[in-house]
């Protein structure tokens, strides 16, 4: 299983990161180690040596077929389910790595950094590019988004990634986070929703 993720796919989050309405010309793709995956209801253990750890809520897509160099018009055939995920990010490390032009592996791919909720059959949802989602911490909504605001849509992302990597059944794709990211703390209780359906719940320790 491969874990793909997309950076800077919501313009207001890009402004949140560096103060500019930056729009990349092509998708910003990175990967996470398989040990990063954290299933719903399992606790997230906040690293004690990586500084501030931020939540980044985003829609996650599950690949359902083997594919390589997939035309965008056929990309919808290659995923069968969606859920909410949290891309945990060591923010101070990320800032240093970005400034130095270095890869993001350490700040994005550490163990437990890819929290994932329960899957929803894509056919049970309306247009995947019109999904509202949110993240609650301790009963308060801290981040909200809608997939209609993506700079690169899901089918575009799948077509682009498949130019470089063969997609396999069970691979997952984190599609980027909207504005509103922030730090997590020990004893935080996290819940994630797609529309009004709760798909994720876990604690930070």
The per-residue pLDDT for range 25-76, each reduced to its tens digit, is 999 999 999 999 999 899 999 999 999 999 999 999 999 999 999 999 999 9
Which residues are within 8 A (CB) of 8 and not within 5 positions of it... i.e. 6 or more apart? 14, 17, 22, 24, 28, 151, 176
Calculate what percentage of the chain has a pLDDT beyond 70: 100
Q: Does residue 146 surpass a pLDDT of 90?
A: yes
Q: With bands split at pLDDT 50, 70 and 90, how would you rate the model's confidence at 86?
A: very high
Task: Calculate the average pLDDT of the chain.
Answer: 95
Structural domain for 144, as ranges: 3-204
The pLDDT of residue 11 is: 86
User: Residues 113-121: what's their mean pLDDT?
Assistant: 98
Predicted TM-score (pTM) of the model is 0.94
The pLDDT of residue 185 is: 98
Exposed (0-12), middle (13-18) or buried (19+): which is 17, by Cβ within 10 Å? middle
What SS3 state is found at 121?
strand
Q: With bands split at pLDDT 50, 70 and 90, how would you rate the model's confidence at 20?
A: confident
Q: With bands split at pLDDT 50, 70 and 90, how would you rate the model's confidence at 145?
A: very high
Q: With bands split at pLDDT 50, 70 and 90, how would you rate the model's confidence at 13?
A: confident
Pair 155, 147: CB distance under 8 Å: no
Q: The CATH number of the domain where 196 resides is what? A: 3.90.850.10
Q: Does residue 204 surpass a pLDDT of 80?
A: yes
Q: How many domains does the chain have?
A: 1
């Amino acid at each position: 299983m491969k874990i793909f993720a997309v950076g800077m796919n919501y313009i207001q989050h890009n402004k949140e990161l560096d103060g500019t309405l930056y729009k990349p010309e092509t998708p910003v793709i990175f990967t996470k180690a398989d040990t990063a995956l954290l299933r719903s209801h399992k606790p997230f253990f906040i690293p004690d040596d990586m500084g501030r750890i931020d939540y980044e809520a985003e829609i996650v897509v599950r690949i359902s077929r083997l594919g390589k160099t997939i035309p965008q018009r056929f990309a919808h055939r290659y995923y069968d389910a969606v859920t909410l995920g949290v891309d945990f990010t060591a923010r101070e490390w990320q800032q240093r790595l970005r400034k130095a032009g270095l890869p993001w592996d350490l700040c994005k791919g550490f163990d437990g950094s890819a929290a994932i909720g329960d899957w929803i059959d894509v056919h049970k949802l309306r247009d995947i590019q019109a999904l509202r989602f949110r993240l609650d911490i301790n009963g308060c909504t801290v981040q909200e988004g809608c997939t209609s605001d993506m700079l690169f849509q899901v089918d575009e992302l799948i077509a682009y990634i498949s130019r470089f990597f063969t997609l396999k059944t069970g691979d997952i794709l984190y599609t980027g986070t909207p504005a509103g990211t922030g730090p997590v703390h020990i004893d935080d209780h996290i819940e994630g929703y797609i529309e009004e359906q709760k798909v994720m719940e876990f604690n930070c320790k």
